[in-house]
Amino acid sequence: MIKNGTRLQSQVCDTQVIVVRSADSLDDLRAGGVVMVPLDSQKDPAKSSELSLDPAFSEGNAMGKRYVDDTGAEVLVTKAGAGTLSVGTTALSLKEAKPLPASD
């Protein structure tokens, strides 16, 4: 299981994320349809040439936004990229901001 605070990067685009709230589902976290790897791991040029961005997962993501899945897992995008964040084939949804209480 991926721990809170783990930094991950995409193998097919510039996307980088930090895990804010971990869940078992994040073991299959993907960007652009390809599994993400730890930020400190080096991208293998030979392997990277074999991998490509899946057109079905190429809508991109936004820097500074939080994305969540149905199990409660949450990631924060620290570097935006062209790949859509997903767990397996299920795309993560953008977390909506909580409305502030009225200050009457």
* Digitized pLDDT (tens) for each residue of the chain, 104 residues in all: 889 999 999 999 999 999 999 999 999 999 999 999 998 887 666 566 688 898 999 999 999 999 999 999 999 999 999 999 999 999 999 998 888 888 76
What does pTM read for this prediction? 0.86
Of all helices (H) and strands (E), which one includes residue 68?
Answer: strand 66-68
pLDDT of res. 23:
93
pLDDT of res. 19:
96
- DSSP character for 55? G
